[in-house]
Amino acid sequence: MFRNLGYTDAPLYEKTRDEYDVESERGQKRFEELKELLLEHLPIKRGKALDIGCNAGLSSFVLEEIGFNVVGIDVQEKAIERARELAKKRGSNTEFYVMDARNLEFEENTFDIVALLGYPLAHFSIWDFDRILQEIRRVLKSKGYVMIQESDFLWTVIRGFYQAGLEAEGLVRINIDVNVYEGYLDRLLIDLEKGVFSRDKFYIWSPWILKYVLEKNGFQVTFKERDFVIGQLICKSETSS
């Protein structure tokens, strides 16, 4: 008998936590891969950076090693606890906070760049992300940048909606339905090892959707190779409508 955990993506993060932990073998590999990508694509290499959805801090530590003064935020308390523990071990000056990106607790014109790395948009509806971009614009300095790592999930869904998949070792994903009014994939996650299952909302993003929301909020958009999108703030004084 499988136990129902309700709507939560906790089983997925439990199975994949090593990918976000810089002390794990997989985390060390991702650290080097991400560092190489950021060095290639970042428009600036110094200044103050905000890392949204930092999890256990891997991406934040990469940004710090490149040359930024970094603040990392995430809504998961356990992830932030681990990030602070790792920061202490590494002698890192990065600050970590539990915080909702829709309501950033920072002053205006604080950051030179805001990063959303590790394909985080699947957690946000288009309305949530529109609100997040308004907050990002507020805390960014004039001509500041937002950098987003994102993939064309819409095309992925179209190609393989009816195919069950292995999300992580022992964790099976089955697509149930697509909510065409709110833009998310309703998924069933089954942990075969623990005997539990849950459902989650996986929001479906595609380049043209992301481009529209960024431009709506005053960003000039450039698509880079390997799933990187750069937005430079060009309309600081205007408000989103």
Residues 175 and 224 in one domain: no
Task: Name, in order, each residue with C-beta under 8 angstroms of 148's C-beta and a sequence gap of 6 or more.
Answer: 115, 116, 117, 121, 210, 228, 229, 231
Could you read off the pLDDT tens digit of each residue along the chain, which spans 241 residues? Answer: 678 888 887 777 777 888 889 999 999 999 999 999 999 999 999 999 999 999 999 999 999 999 999 999 999 999 999 999 999 999 999 999 999 999 999 999 999 999 999 989 988 999 999 999 999 999 999 999 999 998 776 766 666 666 667 677 889 988 888 888 898 989 999 998 889 999 999 898 888 899 999 999 999 999 987 788 999 998 666 544 4
Residues 86, 103 within the same domain: yes
For the chain, the domain total comes to: 2
* 93, 64 Cβ separation under 8 angstroms: yes
Same-domain status, 105 and 90:
yes
What is the enclosing helix (H) or strand (E) of 158? helix 153-160
Indicate whether 113 and 217 sit together in one domain: yes
pTM summary value: 0.85
Under a CB-based contact definition with an 8 Å cutoff, are residues 41 and 224 in contact?
yes
Query: For residue 106, what is the domain's CATH number?
Result: 3.40.50.150
Identify whether residues 23 and 113 lie together within a single domain: yes
Same domain, 172 and 144: no
Would 239 be classed as within a structural domain? no
**107 with 181, same domain?**
no
Domain that holds residue 185: 154-202
